[in-house]
């Protein structure tokens, strides 16, 4: 593996204030009133050294958050960060060195590992999808199919894997889906209503599952058109119809086995919900360094 994932555009991190708020909630959920095992078995002043290691090849994400878990819980814990989010590492790579009170380290261990394992899983699967569409114009993007409470971190993991982010939330952009259009009466009416009051830097995207809808969305002035669950042949016709006038997003049931053919149609974006919704956690462990 190469030490850097060159597909990474610009992975972002949560603001420290927001990150600390989330870590506080994560630790509170796990600890409850107190860590019964560590409190009964381990003297509060007993020092220890541990190392967090990758137990399989992976693209890293959540490592900075994992490191912060330890220092947030106990400021006397010292953490040396030896790798960074977005980096590709081999099995056996030491990611963090942690030194401090053994009781505190072991209390915070699971929360830190959960974050690194889950988010690195997303980053690694994202990298796999990115590699499958290499050489095409298409960019891989995520969706709002995220774990409640973890959206920002999961979208950060997508960026670490080389993907791009779609909306971070409902307030980040206008997406006119089939039910919105049905309530408004037509794509034309829905786009006009959205365009009349949308913030000037915010795009309006329209979901279309038929080519006649693509034609209507284009005429109505949509900024982005989503091709929802269309066949590869229909996507190719949509690309020809639009002829570069607006951006096209392919979406719906995209899998690793099908994404290359979709990318070769000439669409600009391919959204894949399963990279955040279904990626497996990877094996990262905390081992005694003594």
What pLDDT, on the 0 to 100 scale, is given for residue 290?
A: 66
What pLDDT, on the 0 to 100 scale, is given for residue 5?
A: 47
Given the DSSP bridges, would you call strands 78-81 and 94-101 parallel, antiparallel or unpaired? antiparallel
pLDDT bracket for residue 1 (50, 70, 90): very low
Q: Which residues contact 146 (CB under 8 A, 6 or more apart)?
A: 154, 155, 276, 277
Q: Does residue 177 carry a catalytic annotation? A: yes
Q: Does residue 223 carry a catalytic annotation? A: no
Kindly name the residue from 85, 109, 154, 228 that is annotated as catalytic: 228
Q: How far apart are CA 90 and CA 138, in angstroms?
A: 28
Using one digit for the tens of pLDDT, what is the confidence trace for 167-207?
Answer: 999 999 999 999 999 999 999 999 999 999 999 999 999 99
Helices (H), the chain: 16-31, 36-41, 63-73, 102-132, 151-160, 178-184, 187-197, 211-220, 232-242, 259-263, 274-277
Kindly name the residue from 177, 210, 245, 255 that is annotated as catalytic: 177
Q: Does residue 35 carry a catalytic annotation? A: no
pTM for this model (two decimals): 0.93
Kindly name the residue from 55, 144, 145, 164 that is annotated as catalytic: 145
pLDDT surpassing 70 at residue 8: no
**pLDDT mean over 74-101:** 97
Q: What rounded mean pLDDT belongs to the chain?
A: 94
pLDDT surpassing 70 at residue 109: yes
User: Is domain 135-277 given the CATH code 3.20.20.70 in the classification?
Assistant: yes
Domain extent listing, the chain? 16-131+280-288, 135-277
Kindly name the residue from 49, 55, 97, 110 that is annotated as catalytic: 110
pLDDT surpassing 60 at residue 7: no
Can you say how many angstroms the Cα of residue 7 is from the centroid of all Cα atoms in its chain?
14
**pLDDT mean over 73-100:** 97
Fold observed for domain 16-131+280-288: Aldehyde Oxidoreductase; domain 3 (3.90.1170)
Kindly name the residue from 99, 207, 223, 268 that is annotated as catalytic: 207
């Amino acid at each position: 593996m190469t030490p850097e994932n060159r597909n990474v555009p610009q992975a972002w991190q949560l603001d420290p204030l927001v990150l600390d708020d989330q870590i506080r909630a994560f630790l509170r959920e796990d600890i409850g009133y107190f860590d019964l095992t560590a409190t009964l078995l381990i003297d509060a002043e007993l020092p220890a050294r541990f190392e967090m290691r990758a137990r399989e090849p992976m693209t890293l994400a959540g490592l900075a958050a994992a490191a912060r878990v330890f220092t947030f819980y106990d400021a006397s814990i010292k953490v040396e960060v030896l790798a960074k989010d977005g980096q590709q590492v081999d099995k056996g790579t030491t990611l963090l060195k942690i030194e401090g009170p053994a009781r505190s380290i072991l209390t915070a261990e699971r929360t830190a590992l959960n974050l690194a394992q889950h988010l690195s899983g997303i980053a690694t699967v994202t990298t796999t999808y990115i590699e499958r569409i290499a050489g095409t114009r298409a960019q891989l993007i995520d969706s709002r199919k995220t774990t409640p409470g973890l959206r920002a971190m999961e979208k950060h993991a997508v960026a670490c894997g080389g993907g791009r982010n779609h909306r971070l939330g409902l307030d980040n952009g206008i997406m006119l889906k089939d039910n919105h259009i049905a309530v408004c009466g037509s794509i034309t009416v829905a786009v006009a209503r959205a365009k009349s009051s949308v913030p000037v830097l915010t795009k309006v995207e329209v979901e279309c599952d038929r080519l006649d809808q693509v034609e209507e969305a284009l005429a109505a002035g949509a900024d982005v058109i989503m091709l929802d669950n269309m066949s590869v042949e229909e996507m190719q016709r949509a690309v020809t119809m639009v002829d570069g006038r607006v951006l096209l997003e392919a979406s719906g049931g995209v899998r690793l086995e099908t994404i290359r053919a979709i990318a070769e149609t000439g669409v600009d974006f391919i959204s894949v919900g399963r990279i955040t919704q279904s990626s497996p956690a990877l094996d990262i462990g905390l081992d005694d360094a003594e």
